[in-house]
Each structure stands twice: as C-alpha cells, then as structure tokens.
C-alpha cells in the first residue's frame, strides 16, 4: 500500500508505504521503486540528497534491509530544492525505457507537423541581430542551424560572413531600435566566441582586435561567465560539477579523459531548473512536459532542464561533459542516443554572457513557462 499526504508536523509533502511480503529482506533503495517508478536505481539513490527517509520512524540508508509490515516514509526536504518528486506526473507511470541512464535508441520522437519546413524557412531568413552593444563589445543572437565562423561553415553561410556583407544595415537597425543618434559606423566587430552550428544563443564580438585580446585575457582570468540552457535525458541531480579534462586534438568528437583538469576555468557546472516527465502518445499527460519541448510531440521519457555555466569553453565542452555524466543533450546526435537525431534540433542555448563592463541576455524561443530562474 502506498499513500501520499502532508507531514502534519512540518507541513511537507510525504509518501508512505508498507513493506509487502515479497519485498521483505530487500534493500530500501530497491523497494522505493514502488513510490518512485520513474527513477532507476541510480536516481533512487539520490533521493537521500532531497528527502528524509525513515523505516518505522528511524532514518535508514539505502542499503538497509527492510522487513514485512514496516512503514517506509519519505519526507521531502523543501530547502534542498529537489525535483518535483511528489508530482503525480512523475509517479503515476514509469518512464518507458528509463533506467537512470539515457533513453535507448528507438524512443519515439514525433515532431509537430511542418517542423522541418518551418526550420528551413527560419534559417533562410536569418540575419544576425544585435542583442546588446556597448563601447567595446556587442552580442549577437544566433539561431540553431547556422554556423558561427566562415571557416566552420563548410561552404555554408555563417554569422561571420553575414556580418561582412550586412554590417551597415545590422547596425542601422539596432541604432534605430535603441534611438541612438547618427554617428559614424563602428568597425565591423570580431567574433570572440563560437557556437556549434546546432547550438543557438549569444555570440560576443569586439569592436577592435585589441578588445578581442582583452576578452581572451578575461577568459583566462575566469572573468567571463557564460550561461547556457540545456535540456537533457534523465533526471539530473540538483547540482553537477564536471571537471574532467577534455581532449579535442584532431577529433571529430571531444574525448573526456578520466582525470581532473587542474584549470578551473575549463570546468563545467550545472544547476537543475526542472525535471520533466513525458509519456508516450500524441496527447501529453499534463502541461508540465511542455516546459522546454515546444517543437516536439510524443516525446517519451524523463528529462531535466539545466542551467549550465562555463568560464572559457573548449570545443563541444558542455555536450561532452554532460554526456559523460550520463545526461546527454536532447537532439545531440553526436554524443546522445541514436534517437536524438530525430529530435530535429539540439536543445542547447547560450543565454547569458557577463564580463567586466559588458553583459547580455537572450532567452531561447522554447516555451519556458513555469521555470524558476530566481536562483
């Protein structure tokens, strides 16, 4: 028997169950599958980070062997900002194919009608737009499907090439929107960072080669803070630190080495914003699944929306680090499960850059209703 109620002593969500005869002598973390079927064993072991778990009123570890008839109580620790463990959307049905690791190949992805045509038209119509401009730096918004640099474009158009062709009209549009008085056209800015073609978000550029050197100096000193939103497979913990060394030398995909990089500016950090559960079928089980899946229909499994922070950045750093941690990005066909290729886009967006004297923010076109960005 399982029950869900409020702990009257502390007014916190609480789940309670009795140990069945067939569950006797099982480990506590294994028996908790009855209360949290959407979690694999790895995910259930993380419950101790977020909850107080007792057996007949005594706190017990996951390795504790339970006996028939004992009462198991799980009380949510509200101060730990856990995922929505007590939401019915997470507990009414086990996530198909989910066992604490990325979804297997073959998990269903069915995009909304006309998605590919909509995407093609957006890419064709795209021109770089200034999000924020200062005296030394400017930030441009890049959509997914467009290369950052001309060399990386492989013969296709890029933001760098578009800036060469359209810089006067790009600046004129921004100046008009910001009511900037007529003044000489600034020099065409030089890109300071790059994004993978399938990553959307901010590109920071400097108005001179000297200022570009200043940007790189700030990066080495850890003074440039770049924040991303990433939708990943699996239920991620509240906080992830990914410090492993990356090998990018002459590789199509970045290799994560099993040793820590002593340069802290190369580490990747992630904070959990929301856990999302989607069930198979054309109709969602609830509105919660739509939190970051505007373009997807019928997506099945368990997902997390993360705020990811890096200071410098290497090629594929976030993608490789998250995949190595067991949480590949949805739509990442290189580091994720084979089914990700059918997502139609990669859900990674560079939304904030902050350095001395300059800051810019540009949120993605995902549906982020109900997401808490306050911390």
Give the catalytic positions in this structure.
196
SS3 for 331?
coil
Quick one: which of 68, 26, 67, 28 has its CA closest to 45? 28
Q: How far apart are CA 104 and CA 98, in angstroms?
A: 8
Quick one: which of 115, 119, 109 has its CA closest to 343? 109
- The answer to whether 43 and 100 have CB atoms below 8 angstroms apart is yes
Q: How far apart are CA 325 and CA 234, in angstroms?
A: 11
Backbone angles phi, psi at 294, to 5 degrees: -55, -35
Q: How far apart are CA 205 and CA 315, in angstroms?
A: 18
155 — alpha (psi -120 to 50), left (phi > 0) or beta? left
Q: How far apart are CA 46 and CA 39, in angstroms?
A: 10
Q: How far apart are CA 130 and CA 140, in angstroms?
A: 5
Backbone angles phi, psi at 324, to 5 degrees: -65, -30
Partners of 233 in the beta sheet?
303
- The answer to whether 236 and 327 have CB atoms below 8 angstroms apart is yes
- The answer to whether 251 and 371 have CB atoms below 8 angstroms apart is no
Q: What are the respective helix, strand and coil percentages of the chain, to the nearest 5?
A: 25, 30, 45
* Token reading at 74: 């799980």
- The answer to whether 194 and 203 have CB atoms below 8 angstroms apart is yes
């Amino acid at each position: 028997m399982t029950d869900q109620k409020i702990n009257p002593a502390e007014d916190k969500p609480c789940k309670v169950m009795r140990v069945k005869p067939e569950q006797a002598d099982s480990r506590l973390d294994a028996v908790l599958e009855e209360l949290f079927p959407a979690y694999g064993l790895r995910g259930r072991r993380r419950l101790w980070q977020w909850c107080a778990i007792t057996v007949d009123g005594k706190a017990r570890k996951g390795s504790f062997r339970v006996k028939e008839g004992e009462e198991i109580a799980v009380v949510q620790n509200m101060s730990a900002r856990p995922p929505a463990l007590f939401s019915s959307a997470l507990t009414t049905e086990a996530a198909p194919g989910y066992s604490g690791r990325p979804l297997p190949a073959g998990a269903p992805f069915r995009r909304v009608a006309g998605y590919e045509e909509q995407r093609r038209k957006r890419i064709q119509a795209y021109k770089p737009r200034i999000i924020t401009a200062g005296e030394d730096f400017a930030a441009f918004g890049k959509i997914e499907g467009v290369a950052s640099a001309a060399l990386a474009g492989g013969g296709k158009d890029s933001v760098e090439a578009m800036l060469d062709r359209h810089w006067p009209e790009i600046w004129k549009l921004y100046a008009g929107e910001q009511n900037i008085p007529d003044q000489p056209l600034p020099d065409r800015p030089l890109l300071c960072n790059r994004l993978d073609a399938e990553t959307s978000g901010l590109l920071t550029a400097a108005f001179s080669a000297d200022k570009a050197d200043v940007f790189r100096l700030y990066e080495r000193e850890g003074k440039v803070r770049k924040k991303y939103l990433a939708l990943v497979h699996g239920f991620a913990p509240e906080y992830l630190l990914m410090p492993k060394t990356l090998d990018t030398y002459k590789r199509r995909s970045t290799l994560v080495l099993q040793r820590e990089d002593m340069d802290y500016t190369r580490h990747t950090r992630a904070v959990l914003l929301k856990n999302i559960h989607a069930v198979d079928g054309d109709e969602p089980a609830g509105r919660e699944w739509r939190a970051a899946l505007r373009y997807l229909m019928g997506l099945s499994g368990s997902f997390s929306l993360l705020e990811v922070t890096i200071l410098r950045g290497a090629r594929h750093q976030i993608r490789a680090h998250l995949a190595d941690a067991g949480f590949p990005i949805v739509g990442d066909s290189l580091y994720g499960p084979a089914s990700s290729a059918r997502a139609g886009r990669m859900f990674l967006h560079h939304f904030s850059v902050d350095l001395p004297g300059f800051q810019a923010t540009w949120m993605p076109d995902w549906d982020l209703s109900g997401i808490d960005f306050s911390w």
